[in-house]
Amino acid sequence: MKVEKTSLEGVLLVKPELVIDGRGEFFEDLRGSFFETYNESKYKDHDIKIHFVEDDISVSKKNVLRGIHGDDKTWKLVSCVHGKVFFVVVNCNKESSGFGRWESFDLNEENRWKILVPPMYGNGYLALTDKVIFQYKQSSHYNPDGQFRYKWDDPEFGIDWPVENPILSSRDADEKYINTE
């Protein structure tokens, strides 16, 4: 695999490598395809020594927007295993000089990219295809009460989402959205 730094401190882009002989992270043959979603020793080889304790999957239809959520302790390794998403990571650390900076990524079933999101970064995504299956690995167990949350269109961030009227949960649509310190 190839690991690349992004414009956000601590956020990494992980790209699997195609292996022709059928051994490795990804291959295709007449039966279909196979790809390895995680291998702890390969991540350790890249000095990524995070212990993940929970895996989650979300399924969304086109124009569903989820996020922006995060917390102060959880590392996330995310990927889109089916479909295509516009994925956004935002620095939500008010103590950081980079507070409010964000970067977007096109994650999809073809590129099989993963994004490593550190604590104090929020993330969200927009489903761009009729069906999206999105995978999260987390270093802490999900705790909705311990999260900070920002509205998807918070003017403080100015995220350029490629949608005007997304489908939102009541939590994500709430005008009284809570920005937890």
Tell me the per-residue pLDDT of 119-137, one tens digit each, with 9 for 90 and over. 999 999 999 999 999 999 9
CA distances (Å), 96 to each of 8, 121, 127, 144, in order?
11, 11, 30, 23
- Global pTM reads 0.91
Q: What is the mean pLDDT of the chain?
A: 91
Number of domains making up the chain: 1
- Token pair recorded at residue 54: 């929970």
Q: Is 37 part of any domain?
A: no
Asked whether residue 64 is assigned to any structural domain, the reply reads yes
Written as one letter, the residue type at 3 is: V
Q: Which residues are catalytic?
A: 69, 136
Strand order through the sheet with 121-127: 102-108, 84-91, 121-127, 65-70, 148-149
CATH (domain of 93): 2.60.120.10
74 inside domain: yes
Residue 8 lies in a domain: no
